[in-house]
Chain A
Amino acid sequence: MKAVGARLPRYDGVAHVTGRTVFVDDVRLPGTLVVKALRSPAHHASITRLDVRPAEEMKGVHAVITHKDVPLNVYGHLSALGIPGDEPLLAEEDVRYKGQPIAAVAAEDEDTALAAVEAIELELEERPALLDVRKAFDPDAPRIHHWGNWYPHFEGGLDRRQIRKGDIDWAFAKADVIVQGVYRPAAVEHCPLETQTCLAVPEPSGRLVIYSCTQALYFSMGVVAAHLQWPLNKLKFVGGTVGGGFGGKVDTASDTVCALLALKSGRPVKWRWTREEEFLCSSTRAPWHMEIADAVTSDGWILGRKMITLHDSGAYARFSPYGVTKHSFHHTGAYTIPNLHFDGYVVFTNRAPTTAMRGFGVTSVSFAVETHMSRIADVLGMDPFELRLKNANRIGDTSPNGIVYTDPSTVPVVQAIAQAVGHELKAEYRQMTREMRSGEWLPEHLVAQLGNPEEH
């Protein structure tokens, strides 16, 4: 435990301040080609014509790829778990978000690569686009994904992540007041200072070396191997130096395209997204639509919660089902509610696919829950600190997914906040501990949910 509380240096600190840290774009190899992509100019469209021959015939262009060059074009970030793939590496018949890659070129220099992209002949027939997650969930919304407008592959063939706990009808029959709220946090771009960058180098042995800015190196290796239909041992990944990720470099965004262009051209190829591409085409934190209805007693107990969550997955599923699963486990936040009815949907829109970002799936629900707690306190005319302490997770309480808490921190944290802002708590709340409920803190409706922390 020598490291705990000690002031240890960063292992990469001196390299960072001397310019010695080698990011992907800092790797220099002679003969490296420049990659640029043709991206969809429309949010949603059918591709009626795609002809890359004018680009291929240009001087200085060494390789052009479309979906026809990808051994396994349609794949999914959850395919390794047995979920069917839904996302083409390069668009086939249709494009489902603005900026979706359709073709990519590798050329001698940037100007030639840009001119080659310009020369590709593309014709589209635009279709209506859905850009709001709530509208995409309407029954009469146009269908924008071949699975329907939301993801249908949760366990047991369910089309949602659902949680059912206790007796929700009892809670709502018993309530003195129902408190409702709708919460809609917007998309957030990760905005790493280093844009998506990849360098792929063909080796004489037939292997590929991929310098990747990925946050998830072995995962990216699996994705590239799947698209190429290659064994892993033909790929060598060099990574670990990431110029900011924040979740935005979990998805494999540039490695596979570079791998294919390196193989087709026989040359090292590098793709560094522009800042504009990073903002317009890279994944974001999802927008969410969350509706909460709580069954509450006039003295501040939350007897039950009904909640529906629409997670904006963008055009394809990627990791969104995982994010919604985490979200569902946290949908009561730092508080214990014994009767629950939760449905979380992964909804498709014509936005860039969304992904992980610092607390994947949880920050959205924390925002909703904490805002809702304050709203309940307002409705009841109750001290918001005391409402939180009353319903706080205590040792022995159970989470929405049945975990018995052994080390919950809600009580000391809320007490510390009250103290820090000079908020006077009543004696019974000042003296409250996180130990198992008893006496006035163990009303009848919380008895059945109690678990045995000794067994966990």
Chain B
Amino acid sequence: MKLTVNGRSYDVESGPLTTLLDVLREELEITGPKAGCEQGGCGACTVLVDGEPRRSCLIPVGAIEGASITTVEGLGEPGRLAPIQQAFVHYYASQCGFCTPGMLIAAQAYLDRGGTDDREAIIEALGGHVCRCTGYVKIIEAVAAAARGESFDLARTAEGKYTTLVAGDGR
């Protein structure tokens, strides 16, 4: 059967009951989507299936023959980051990084359907995505900034040239 992943066409050899997550990770070696729980509970395996965010660990690949899949690798590359990726870097929305691929996919889907910087709407859109490190605040800030169309000069971030947060504090 055929699948399109990040714009490239693949002939999939795994059986129809193999999960989409296993096809991506084990057969195609596209390892952005993570196996966090394999029960649909954590969101780390989320990918876009024909534009919709879905849990790849719960989808038998036979059920989506011919579908177009977008993983985190398809959002943008180093040097050519998508706005949501830039926002995640700028706002420190990623700590250990394990939930990040799923978070980014859910956030991108939210932006694609015209999501705004409304906090409650963002929380609703990211519901079911578990992050153990950040406490979610920075993730919500990043998605809100991307929704407002803010852009970030990451080259300046990398040079440490952003204004200090505690300028003038004498201690």
Contacts and interface: CB of A to CB of B under 8 A. Distances in A.
B98 A19 contact: no
A425 interface: no
A14 B132 contact: no
Interface size band for A: 35 or more
B96 A275 contact: no
B34 A7 contact: no
Nearest to A109: B26
Contact of A7 (B73, B78, B162): B162
B34 A191 contact: no
Nearest to A242: B96
Contacts of B42: 193, 275
A17 B101 CA distance: 7
A6 B162 CA distance: 7
B44 A193 contact: yes
A17 B81 contact: yes
Chain B binding site: helix, strand, loop or mixed by DSSP? loop
Interface stretch (B58-66, B113-121, B153-161): B153-161
A20 interface: yes
A191 B133 CA distance: 10
A194 interface: yes
Nearest to A19: B32
A17 B100 CA distance: 6
Given A193-B44, A194-B34, A274-B38, A243 B89 contact: no
Contact of B98 (A2, A10, A18, A194): A194
B73 A6 contact: no
Chain A binding site: helix, strand, loop or mixed by DSSP? loop
B128 interface: no
Contacts of A13: 88-89, 92, 94
Interface string B53-87: 00000000000000000011101111001000100
A5 B34 contact: no
B163 A14 contact: no
B126 interface: no
A18 B162 contact: no
A55 to B, nearest CB: 23
B167 A12 contact: no
B162 A243 contact: no
Contacts of B85: 14, 17-18
Given A9-B157, A9-B158, A18-B78, A25 B32 contact: no
B122 interface: no
Given A193-B34, A244-B132, A14 B98 contact: no
B28 to A, nearest CB: 11
B158 A19 contact: no
Contact of A18 (B29, B76, B99, B154): B76
Interface in A233-255: 242-246
A243 B97 contact: yes
A403 interface: no
A12 B88 CA distance: 12
A242 B132 CA distance: 12
B142 to A, nearest CB: 10
Contacts of A6: 160, 162, 164
A16 B36 CA distance: 16
B41 A275 contact: yes
A329 B3 CA distance: 60
A14 B133 CA distance: 17
A272 interface: yes
A407 to B, nearest CB: 12
Interface of A: 2-3, 5-10, 12-23, 25-26, 28, 190-195, 242-246, 272, 274-275
30 contacts: A6-B164, A7-B164, A9-B158, A14-B85, A14-B89, A16-B89, A17-B89, A17-B94, A17-B100, A18-B73, A18-B85, A19-B32, A19-B71, A19-B101, A22-B31, A26-B31, A28-B29, A28-B31, A193-B36, A193-B96, A193-B130, A194-B36, A195-B36, A242-B96, A243-B97, A243-B98, A244-B96, A275-B36, A275-B38, A275-B41
For the complex of A and B, list the 8 residue pairs with the smallest distance between their C-beta atoms, beginning with the closest.
Answer: A19-B32, A16-B97, A243-B98, A7-B162, A19-B72, A275-B37, A26-B31, A17-B85
Interface of B: 29, 31-32, 34-39, 41-42, 44, 71-73, 75-78, 81, 85, 88-89, 92, 94, 96-101, 104, 130-133, 154, 157-158, 160, 162-167, 169
